[in-house]
Amino acid sequence: MSVRPVLRMGDARLLRRAGPAGDFGSAALRALLQDMRDTMQALDGVGLAAPQIGVNLRVVIFGVEKSPRYPDADAVPETVLINPVITQLDDEIEDAWEGCLSLPGLRGLVPRFRNIRYQGYDEQGAKIDRTVSGFHARVVQHECDHLDGILYPMRIRDITQFGYTEELFPGQALQDE
Ligand code: NI
């Protein structure tokens, strides 16, 4: 399959609300997911949403292995999540740094719910229902925001906490979402 160009902030297609995906198990969905995986791997990303490659459907992928580069970040299972619904489990908010493949080279301090439940479907239409916290919950919220046309800078509370990765974290190679 193929690595697709990732749209960057400023492209109006990133600001749309995506529509529901159907056709579970179809060749078209399989091809889309393969392109998304190829693209995410090529760019060493943690997650990718279909709208980031110009496909206006409610499909996201994410996943990261436990890495010595991120001793504080938990592993997140490789997941295909279609037509997701997120429910906050309490009011606890946590701030942490995020990057995004649509804003290469930048990082921002973003508030997210610490504890969530997410539900949706995998590529075969099997139900997914998980209760997660911390980094896993953050990645899911970041990716699902893309389905509603929301990019992480729109959620930053203190805009001084937004800038170039090389300046904020000199010498560190960080992954984007
Ligand atoms: Ni992103």
Domain assignment present for residue 4? The answer is: no
Select from 149, 160, 108, 140 the least CA-distant residue to 19. 149
Q: How far is the CA of 14 from the centre of ligand 1 (A)?
A: 10
Q: How far is the CA of 100 from the centre of ligand 1 (A)?
A: 4
Reading the block at residue 27, the tokens are: 């060749």
Residues whose CB is less than 8 angstroms from the CB of residue 153 and which lie 6 or more positions away in sequence, other chains included: 9, 103, 108, 162
Q: Exactly one of 123, 143, 166, 177 is catalytic; which is it?
A: 143
Domain assignment present for residue 175? The answer is: no
For the chain, helix, strand, coil in percent to 5 are: 25, 30, 45
Q: Is 143 annotated in the active site?
A: yes
Query: Which CATH number belongs to the domain containing residue 104 in this structure?
Result: 3.90.45.10
Cα–Cα distance measured from residue 107 to residue 2, given in angstroms and rounded to the nearest whole number: 27
Q: State the total domains in the chain.
A: 1
Q: Quickly state the pLDDT bin for 71 (edges 50, 70, 90).
A: low
Domain assignment present for residue 143? The answer is: yes
pLDDT in tens, 85-125: 999 999 999 999 999 999 999 999 999 999 999 999 999 99
Task: Give me Rg for the CA atoms of the chain.
Answer: 15
Domain assignment present for residue 7? The answer is: no
Q: Give the number of C-alpha atoms closer than 13 A to the C-alpha of residue 113, restricted to the C-beta side.
A: 16
DSSP labels, 25-57: T-HHHHHHHHHHHHHHHHTT-SEEEGGGGT--B
* Res 168 pLDDT > 80: yes
pLDDT in tens, 10-45: 999 999 999 999 899 999 999 999 999 999 999 999
Cα–Cα distance measured from residue 84 to residue 27, given in angstroms and rounded to the nearest whole number: 21
Q: How far is the CA of 136 from the centre of ligand 1 (A)?
A: 14
Q: Quickly state the pLDDT bin for 175 (edges 50, 70, 90).
A: confident
Domain assignment present for residue 45? The answer is: yes
Q: How far is the CA of 98 from the centre of ligand 1 (A)?
A: 9
Range of the domain at 163: 12-168
Domain assignment present for residue 129? The answer is: yes
- Which protein residues have their CB within 5 A of the ion that is ligand 1? 100, 177
